[in-house]
């Protein structure tokens, strides 16, 4: 049996909705009609979850869904040969739907292009491999030895060897899907790993890659008999999982506009840093979109808590890595692994461009442990505080469409209400596979 999966970016708990279509004649009461015309999907309406209040006054409206430039892609984690078709959302008059996160990123990139600039982005994605078959989550047994690791092994070849078959299949699948997986390292959590995706001068493709990679890792892990989770904080005793973004900006001649020829970077780099810091509190909901996200943002656990920057300083929210001046770039360290990559990248690049356009001045860079510095502005400490900050923001609407912001706030307030009805175990089970 051959199937087609249709996927698009959402604002809610999952960055991805994918539906494998059954063979013709097979009933599926939760999927309405899909019609095709000139290689374009012209109508698809998913039924809302039972019992949930709709965030729109008139309910879920129909619209036009068009394939992105990626075209059909294989889904190597499934047994049946299946193709994935990424799509994005348009109104019936042909205009982009402003609430689509991919269109939000496109709009930011177009503003860069209008200035003769192109962002170059790379992402580092952290995740846990988890045996969730029992009442208590634990690291899976190694397929090689049959043993479970008793402690984390940071930057360990042995930890990678323990799951050699999974990572071999992962790299093969990335090649099949044309995803630019680069290095893999073991991290500070038990069963935690990080994969770096290569830098790309097309931010839309970079976000696609991150979104598809998360889908692949989770699906492939289940095929190997365990879970892979990008949940921000699955274990209270270990550091959480982040999604760090590195970016530089090149001009029409291909030159890095952050390169000053030395370690400090150009004035434009500092303007971009200032813009990111200026929008950080108001856009925290995008970087930490779920209740569990805020359990990661605690002092001393490899995640930032203050709104600050520094050179080669991993205790700050914004880090300027060392290295060759031609590779001078900004690392944005706030986002958890549970983010929507399109929204995250739109918020980061939009804030940076806002700083560049307004020639904002960055504060003094932090030297030493930022957790110990008193008086620094803080990233919101709770989900509710972050929702309020975005709702009241006059900064974020400068680079994200008001309808997208309104939809996101409505969605998150609804989630905030219903998550309170769940036990801690139910919340973990919900987030484990969803985010």
Nearest alpha-carbon partner for 377 in 336, 335, 316: 316
Residue 10: pLDDT band by 50, 70, 90 thresholds? low
Position 271 pLDDT exceeds 50: yes
241 pLDDT above the threshold of 80:
yes
Dist CA 331 CA 351 (whole Å): 14
Domain 108-434 bears CATH identifier 3.30.200.20? no
Task: State the pLDDT at residue 96.
Answer: 95
- Examine the pLDDT at 405 and tell me if it is beyond 70: yes
pLDDT exceeds 50 at position 38? no
pLDDT, residue 334, reads 98
Please determine, for residue 133, whether its predicted confidence score (pLDDT) is greater than 50: yes
Backbone angles phi, psi at 304, to 5 degrees: -75, 150
Total H helices, total E strands in the chain: 11, 15
Q: What value does the mean pLDDT of the chain take?
A: 88
Q: Phi and psi dihedrals of 292, rounded to 5?
A: -65, -20
Indicate if the pLDDT at residue 318 is higher than 90.
yes
Q: What is the pLDDT of residue 401?
A: 96
CATH of domain 3-97: 3.10.20
Considering only residues 51 and 55, tell me which one the structure prediction assigns the higher pLDDT. 55
User: By CB neighbour count within 10 A (0-12 exposed, 13-18 middle, 19+ buried), where does 144 fall?
Assistant: exposed
Give the per-residue pLDDT at 49: 39
Summarised one tens digit per residue, pLDDT across range 66-85 is 999 999 999 999 999 999 99
pLDDT tens-digit profile of 171-184? Answer: 999 999 999 999 99
Beta strands in 212-356 (DSSP E): 227-229, 243-250, 309-311, 318-320, 330-332
Upper half-sphere CA count for residue 301 (Cβ side, 13 Å): 20
* Phi and psi based region of residue 155 (left: phi greater than 0; alpha: psi -120 to 50; beta: remaining): left
Note whether 90 and 63 are within 8 A (CB). Answer: yes
Question: Rounded CA gap, 177 and 93, in Å?
Answer: 32
Reply yes or no on whether the pLDDT at 39 is more than 60.
no
Enumerate the domain spans of the chain. Answer: 3-97, 108-434
Q: Where does the pLDDT of residue 155 fall: very low under 50, low under 70, confident under 90, or very high at 90 and above?
A: confident
User: CB–CB of 77/227 below 8 Å?
Assistant: no
Residue (of 365, 263, 359, 351) closest to 306 by Cα position: 365
Name the residue with higher pLDDT: 150 or 208: 208
pLDDT for residue 95 is more than 90: yes
How many Cβ atoms are within 10 Å of 430's Cβ, its own excluded?
17
More confident residue, 147 or 261: 261
Query: Any bridge partners for residue 67, and if so which?
Result: 87
Nearest Cα residue to 411 out of 82, 104, 25, 60: 60
Q: Which of 283, 292, 235 is nearest to 380 (CA)?
A: 283
Q: Is the CB of residue 43 less than 8 Å from the CB of residue 33?
A: yes
Measured between its terminal Cα atoms, the distance across the chain in Å is 29
pLDDT of amino acid 48: 38
Q: What integer pLDDT is reported at residue 156 of this predicted model?
A: 86
Asked whether residue 65 carries a pLDDT value surpassing 60, the answer given is: yes
CA quadruple 196, 197, 199, 202: dihedral, nearest 10: -150
Are 240 and 317 within 8 A, CB to CB? no
Kindly state the DSSP code that residue 96 receives in the 8-state scheme: B
Determine the angle formed by the axes of helices 341-357 and 101-114, rounding to 10 degrees: 30
Quick one: what percent of the chain has pLDDT higher than 70?
86
Q: What percent of the chain has pLDDT over 90?
A: 75
Collect all residues with Cβ–Cβ distance below 8 Å to 315 and sequence separation of at least 6: 304, 366, 368, 369, 370, 371
Distance of CA 160 to the CA centre of its chain: 24
Rounded CA-CA distance 275/258 in Å is 14
d(CA 351, CA 111): 12
pLDDT band at 8 (very low <50, low <70, confident <90, very high): low
- How far is it, in rounded angstroms, from Cα 186 to Cα 168? 15
Q: What is 100-111 written as a DSSP string?
A: -HHHHHHHHHHH
Largest Cα span, the chain: 65
């Amino acid at each position: 049996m051959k199937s087609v999966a249709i996927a698009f970016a959402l604002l809610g708990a999952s960055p991805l909705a994918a539906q494998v279509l059954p063979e013709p004649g097979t009933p599926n009461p939760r999927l309405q009609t899909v019609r095709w015309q000139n290689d374009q999907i012209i109508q698809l309406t998913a039924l809302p979850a039972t019992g949930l209040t709709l965030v729109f006054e008139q309910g879920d409206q129909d619209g036009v869904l068009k394939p992105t430039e990626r075209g059909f892609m294989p889904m190597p984690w499934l047994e049946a040969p299946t193709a994935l078709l990424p799509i994005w959302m348009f109104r019936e008059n042909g205009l982009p739907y402003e609430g689509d996160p991919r269109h939000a990123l496109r709009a930011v990139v177009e503003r860069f292009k209008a200035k003769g600039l192109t962002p170059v982005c790379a992402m580092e994605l952290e995740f846990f491999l988890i045996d969730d078959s029992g009442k208590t989550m634990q690291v899976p047994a190694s397929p090689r030895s049959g043993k479970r690791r008793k402690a984390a092994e940071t930057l360990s070849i042995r930890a990678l060897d323990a799951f050699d078959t999974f990572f071999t299949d992962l790299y093969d699948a990335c090649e099949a899907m044309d995803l630019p997986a680069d290095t893999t390292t073991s991290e500070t959590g038990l069963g935690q790993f990080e994969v770096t995706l290569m830098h790309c001068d097309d931010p839309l493709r970079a976000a696609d890659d991150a979104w598809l990679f998360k889908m692949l890792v989770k699906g492939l892990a289940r095929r190997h008999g365990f879970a892979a989770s990008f949940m921000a904080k699955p274990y209270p005793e270990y550091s959480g999982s982040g999604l760090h973004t590195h970016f530089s900006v090149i001009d029409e001649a291909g030159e890095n506009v952050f390169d000053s020829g030395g370690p400090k970077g150009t004035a434009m780099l500092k303007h971009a840093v200032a813009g990111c810091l200026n929008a950080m509190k108001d856009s925290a909901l995008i970087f930490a979109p779920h209740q569990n996200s805020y359990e990661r943002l605690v002092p001393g656990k490899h995640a930032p808590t203050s709104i600050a920057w520094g050179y080669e300083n991993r205790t700050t929210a914004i880090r300027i890595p060392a290295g060759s001046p031609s590779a001078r770039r900004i690392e944005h360290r706030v986002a958890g692994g549970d983010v929507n990559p399109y929204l995250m990248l739109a918020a980061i690049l939009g804030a940076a461009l806002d700083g560049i356009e307004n020639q904002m001045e960055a504060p003094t860079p932090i030297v030493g442990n930022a957790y110990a510095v008193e008086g620094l502005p803080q990233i919101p400490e709770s989900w509710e505080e972050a929702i309020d900050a975005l709702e009241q923001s006059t900064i974020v609407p400068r680079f994200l469409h008001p309808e997208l912001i309104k939809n996101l706030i409505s969605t998150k307030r609804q989630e905030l209400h219903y998550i309170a009805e769940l036990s801690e175990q139910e919340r973990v089970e919900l987030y484990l596979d969803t985010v």
